[in-house]
Amino acid sequence: MLKMEEVSKSYQHRGQVVKALDGATLDIPKGDFVSIVGPSGSGKSTLLLMLGGMLSPSSGRVLLGDESIYDLTSDGRARLRKENIGFVFQTFNLVPYLTALENVQIPMFLAGIDEPTQEENATALLQRVGLGDRMDHKPTELSVGQQQRVALARMLANDPAVILADEPTGNLDPETADQVIRFFEEFNEEGRTIVMVTHDPKAAARAKKTLKLDNGKIVSQGKTPQQPRHVA
């Protein structure tokens, strides 16, 4: 599903070459749920952005299915992202002057879906994440946890096969973080492939596999010790 073949990323910082990623090779099969852990600056977000077609490598190949992402044109990569990948970020990235419903409609609007279908699908997605009574609220009228759930609903709007999440519980209290991870478990059970960067050991432990980075290198990868599934 997602592959990296000897991928490196270097950049210049104050006259010195810094390797953000160093010879990363990995294979994430369809339907897997992988947590990426490691100290700050270890290359976690770099790796995630490369998997999402948003940051080109200095060397090596990144593949989604049979397509080499960075051999595509920029338009080709944009198409690949739109059709296959959903992103979730720590900062939510909601449009502040739009309602929850309108925020969830954005990907469908960009995909050219008609407005009645947009509204119907966005309503169903917000109901799924428990926000059926908050659809007309703007982000500032929602709690932090509710904002993250709007972001989850928006991420599902184009029915992505792959979910890439960068610190999705970073701004959340423990109870709300647990709720968000339960949603990821549900999405994964539906067959979606999930790659999640996290500093939270409890969140990482809920994935099927854990990949550890240090100084831009993958230092370990393997199955996560089985944890009891949380029941709502």
pLDDT tens digits, 12-50: 878 888 889 999 999 999 999 999 999 988 999 999 999
pLDDT at 228: 52
Looking at the domain assignment, is residue 218 inside a domain?
A: yes
Looking at the domain assignment, is residue 143 inside a domain?
A: yes
Q: How many CA atoms lie within 13 A of 169 on its CB side?
A: 23
CATH number, position 49:
3.40.50.300
Total domains, the chain: 1
Looking at the domain assignment, is residue 202 inside a domain?
A: yes
Q: What's the pTM value of the predicted model, to 2 decimals?
A: 0.91
pLDDT classification of 227: cutoffs 50, 70, 90: low
pLDDT at 171: 84
pLDDT classification of 121: cutoffs 50, 70, 90: very high
pLDDT at 220: 82
Distance, in Å, from the CA atom of 152 to the CA atom of 139, rounded to the nearest integer, reads 14
The domain containing residue 128 runs over which residues? 29-55+74-223
Comparing C-alpha atoms, which of 70, 52, 60 is closest to residue 25?
60
Distance, in Å, from the CA atom of 98 to the CA atom of 179, rounded to the nearest integer, reads 24
